[in-house]
Amino acid sequence: MHRRFTTNIAKSGDCLRNHFLLAMPQLSEGIFSQSITYICEHGEGGAMGIVINRPLDLSVSAIFEHLGISTQRDFSHLQVMAGGPVDMDHGFVLHRRCDRTWKASMKVTPEITLTTSRDILSAIATDDGPSDHLIALGFAGWAAGQLEQELAENSWITLPGDSEVIFSTACDKRLSAAAALLGIDMNLISSQAGHA
């Protein structure tokens, strides 16, 4: 994993690990426009997460073919996500409910793990890996204090992560499904600040 994000997050009372960031309308350009990001690590040294609703024009089958991984079934219906603007040539697999261990994993919660090693892809290809998974290229990263500054600027709405949103909700419905957990309709939020 990326050591620059490894910190003693137990010291932080504001830890957003296992939280969603919902982009506010002022984030109107690029990968974060209308995005939902799942935060995997957050501490004094910064934060990292995976954008979970930005599909690339790339299927999981294409990834397996590129890596020379043989499959036992068709994965062309599964899309690869653009996980963020950092390290877009590296793969990240968010997954849940798997008792196996992988060469390079970081447990986000007892239920959700982030893995970056090829062994999990080989296992998924042969139906021997976690059945609930999301494959992404790249990640979203924030330097120390950067995410806190963006939160102070009201760039994001935060809420606790929900594995059903990540793994059981269609990609294009994840943002609205997460917002609905707060009773919010993202279509009704304006990018203009109100004045009394």
pTM to 2 decimals? 0.88
pLDDT in tens, 1-38: 333 333 333 333 469 999 999 999 888 888 899 999 99
Per DSSP, the three-state class of 30 is helix
All structural domains of the chain with their residue ranges: 3-188
Q: What residues pair up with 156 in beta bridges, in sequence order?
A: 23
Residue from 196, 186, 152 nearest 36 by CA: 186
Which pLDDT value is given to residue 9? 32
> Over the stretch 119-141, which tens digit does the pLDDT of each residue have?
999 999 999 999 899 999 999 99
What is the CATH code of the structural domain delimited by 3-188?
3.40.1740.10
Task: Compute the CA torsion angle 54, 57, 60, 62 (nearest 10 deg).
Answer: -160
